[in-house]
Amino acid sequence: MYMNKYLSNVPLEEGLEKYLSVLKNSRVRDTEYIDIEESLNRMSSDAVYAKLSSPFYNCSAMDGVAVKSKSTFFANEQNIITLIEGKDYVEVDTGDPIPKQFDAVIMIEDILEKDNNKVKIYKPAIPWQHIRCLGEDIVEKEMLIPSFHNIKPQDVGAMISARIDKIQVFKEFKVGIIPTGTELIDRYTDPKIGDIIEFNSRLFEGLILDYEGKPILYPIVEDNYEKIKHSVLQAIKECDMVLVNAGSSQGREDYTYDIIDEIGEVCIHGLAIKPGKPAILGHIQGKPIIGIPGYPVSAWVVMENMVKPILRKLIYKDLETAKIIHAALSKRVMSSLKYEEFIRVKLGFIDNKYVATPIKRGAGTITSLVHADGVIRVPQNIEGIEEGSLVNVELLKDDNNIKNTIISIGSHDIVMDIINDELIKSSLGKVSLSSTHVGSFQGMLAIKKHESHIAPIHLFDTDTESYNIPYIEKYIEEDVAIIKLVRRTQGLIVKKGNPFNIKSIKDLVNIRYINRQKGSGTRILLDYLLNKEGIKKSEISGYEREESTHMSLAKAIQNGDADCGMGVYSAANIFGLDFIPICDEEYDLLLNENMLKTDYIKSLLDVINKEIFKEKVISLGGYNLDNTGKVIKLKRKVKVEYSN
């Protein structure tokens, strides 16, 4: 058994090159004959020759009369010629065969008069005018389609026209997908603690289709050496390539390495990429077998950067290079020197430049891929990238899609999700809102740095005991505006029935608290209230434990991981928790004043002024919308007066 705890750390490009050179001579692809109706998107393995010309007889290209050109030569406006039906002409429609004795067609529009089997013409017909001659399109026995041609709809049309029935193509490239793990259950089974709902195989299936392979899904196999080996052997027999998911690392039940080592050969175990480092590249009977890490984002990185180029090469197809744009990084990213790191980012198009904001980094967060607009690669041997640096972003979404997105960086509230959904609905999917939750203070700074269209904020100023405006006056020098959004109730969220009988901030001592992240308005409010009560942060057990949304905080309390946290009523309500109101606060949208003129903000204002939006928010509970939609302009620019 494999006991080496240290994986290799092979750079991605080097690993790919090495692996491809091992696979180079492995196999030639099999071919098959298929009906042309089935041939769309397949690749011809041999040239296709026409069996019939098209058209296979001379035919009229226009509606009109077929004539003998000779008998029209002397026609002109002074010499009108009369032609007799049957002798000098026959009527033809577009596509009709031209009888042998005729050699030109006069369009119906060029006929002066037509009655009683006679037509009068005033200009000559040039020989073969308006006739599609035999073989104009395809000539029998000529090459119609070369080898290695991707069959497109027009190719199918041409082949039908040339009377081709079957064509020789490369067989579909079957990729076997084996999910492994005793903890995995299918989506129909009710999950218990310890179960993981299996979904990676469907992620792989879609990606393989995207790469133009044929995915073959195998059943989940428990972590059992013999059972996984059995499944691998079967898949190797039936497929051209096999992906074993999970068990790539060094846990007690990670068998992929040992199995490949026993029945084939491991070329590489461990790539210098993060996530995705424990990937295993090997072959069995000349067929590639790849051990893909279990975490979905790690798996996705290995699929996109290793499986895709290999598969495309093996099916003789080009690898399209990702579309790259340049963006300014809104937040510093740290990275390990040992690995090339793949950082998912959201993109915004603000003041005619792209801004990239890094999102969740955990390898287990499939939603980071759902939300990501692009990926930044931080090269190996680099500690990180500074805020403001221009970075290359590989796009995961359409550029237009990104340009039609309103960027919101700041505090979290469920109301922002409703705005997003209503924006999408009212624009029929064209405009959306993308929210990054970094807290109110960072949101305000994002507006200052022109990195966001809007920032939802609720910043409580302890001196004036008022919201937002004192902070803006202190930190922002430019003209900005506030769109009033909601007044919402903040309070303490506790388990149903309030088992610890929490009534106020004073009761937070001696329970397990759960906090919001630094810079969030809720955290600032808590700190103020603690200070007012003379309670030290160190007295609050759990003060250091941070969640970045009201929803995740409430969920942790519902799950019993904490006894109390501060948040909005709506989050408590959604999870059926109890709520002790503490205060009402102003949750507003901050933006640069010049943004008010943009279509982005006009559509946003339309949405928040709609009744349907207000009804939805009210139904959540804990919100007051008396001022919703009001705009306050805050002139901040200091007028400089020049004297002589």
Q: Which of residues 133 and 366 has its CB atom nearest to ligand LQZAQKY5 in the complex?
A: 366
Q: Are 83 and 118 in contact (CB under 8 A)?
A: yes
Q: Which residue is nearest to ligand LQZAQKY5 (CB)?
A: 294
Query: SS3 letters for 436-487?
Result: EECCHHHHHHHHHCCCCCEEEECCEECCCCEECHHHHHHHCCCCEEEEEEEE
Q: Which of residues 177 and 301 has its CB atom nearest to ligand MOO in the complex?
A: 301
CA torsion, points 192, 195, 200, 205, in degrees to nearest 10? -60
Told to check if 257 binds ligand LQZAQKY5 by CB under 6 A, we report: no
Q: Are 588 and 467 in contact (CB under 8 A)?
A: yes
For residue 172, the minimal CB distance to ligand MOO (Å) is 30
Please work out the total of residues on this chain that contact ligand LQZAQKY5, with binding judged by CB under 6 A. 25
For residue 639, the minimal CB distance to ligand MOO (Å) is 54
Helices 256-263 and 225-238: crossing angle in degrees, nearest 10, is 60
Which stretch, 105-113, 180-188, 307-315, 406-414, contacts ligand LQZAQKY5 (CB under 6 A)? Answer: 180-188
Please give the residues from 355 up to 414 whose contact with ligand LQZAQKY5 meets the rule CB under 6 A: 363
Which stretch, 99-107, 161-169, 289-297, 616-624, contacts ligand LQZAQKY5 (CB under 6 A)? Answer: 289-297
Cβ-based neighbour number of residue 198 at 10 Å: 20
Helix (H, G, I), strand (E, B) or coil at 289: strand
Told to check if 181 binds ligand LQZAQKY5 by CB under 6 A, we report: yes
Q: Are 526 and 460 in contact (CB under 8 A)?
A: no
Q: Which of residues 107 and 196 has its CB atom nearest to ligand LQZAQKY5 in the complex?
A: 196
Separation of alpha carbons 493 and 622, rounded Å: 13
**Which run of H or of E encompasses 394?**
strand 390-395
Told to check if 298 binds ligand LQZAQKY5 by CB under 6 A, we report: yes
Which of 592, 437, 449, 578 lies closest to 521, judged by CA?
A: 437
For residue 339, the minimal CB distance to ligand MOO (Å) is 8
Q: Which of residues 198 and 240 has its CB atom nearest to ligand MOO in the complex?
A: 198
Separation of alpha carbons 98 and 485, rounded Å: 76
For residue 461, the minimal CB distance to ligand LQZAQKY5 (Å) is 44
Which of 428, 413, 430, 643 lies closest to 549, judged by CA?
A: 413
- In 131-173, the DSSP E strands lie at 131-132, 143-145, 166-170
- Paired with 432 in beta bridges are 405
Q: Which of residues 248 and 305 has its CB atom nearest to ligand LQZAQKY5 in the complex?
A: 248
Which stretch, 65-73, 138-146, 205-213, 242-250, contacts ligand LQZAQKY5 (CB under 6 A)? Answer: 242-250
Instruction: Say which entry of ligand MOO, ligand LQZAQKY5, none residue 110 contacts (CB below 5 to 8 A, set by partner kind).
Output: none
**Site for ligand MOO, rule CB under 6 A:** 274-278, 293, 295, 298, 363
Q: Which residue is nearest to ligand MOO (CB)?
A: 298
Which two three-digit tokens encode residue 266? 């491991």
Query: H helices of 333-413, where?
Result: 366-371, 399-403
Please give the residues from 194 up to 233 whose contact with ligand LQZAQKY5 meets the rule CB under 6 A: 196, 198-201
For residue 304, the minimal CB distance to ligand LQZAQKY5 (Å) is 15
**Which run of H or of E encompasses 238?**
helix 225-238
Rg for the chain, CA atoms, rounded: 35
- With a CB cutoff of 8 Å and minimum separation 6, the contacts of 8 are 268, 269, 270, 271
Which two three-digit tokens encode residue 32? 């098959």
Q: Give the pairing type, strands 631-634 and 546-547.
A: unpaired
**Which run of H or of E encompasses 56?**
none
CA torsion, points 609, 610, 615, 616, in degrees to nearest 10? -90
Instruction: Out of 246, 375, 431, 514, name the contact with ligand LQZAQKY5 by CB under 6 A.
Output: 246
Told to check if 588 binds ligand LQZAQKY5 by CB under 6 A, we report: no
For residue 243, the minimal CB distance to ligand MOO (Å) is 15
Instruction: Say which entry of ligand MOO, ligand LQZAQKY5, none residue 446 contacts (CB below 5 to 8 A, set by partner kind).
Output: none
For residue 249, the minimal CB distance to ligand MOO (Å) is 8
Which of 312, 32, 268 lies closest to 171, judged by CA?
A: 32
Instruction: Say which entry of ligand MOO, ligand LQZAQKY5, none residue 247 contacts (CB below 5 to 8 A, set by partner kind).
Output: ligand LQZAQKY5
Residue with tokens 């919001």: 516
Told to check if 282 binds ligand LQZAQKY5 by CB under 6 A, we report: no
Which stretch, 106-114, 191-199, 439-447, 467-475, contacts ligand LQZAQKY5 (CB under 6 A)? Answer: 191-199
For residue 206, the minimal CB distance to ligand LQZAQKY5 (Å) is 13
For residue 297, the minimal CB distance to ligand LQZAQKY5 (Å) is 9
What does the binding site for ligand LQZAQKY5 look like in residue numbers (CB under 6 A)? 179, 181, 183-184, 196, 198-201, 245-251, 254, 275, 277-278, 293-295, 298, 363
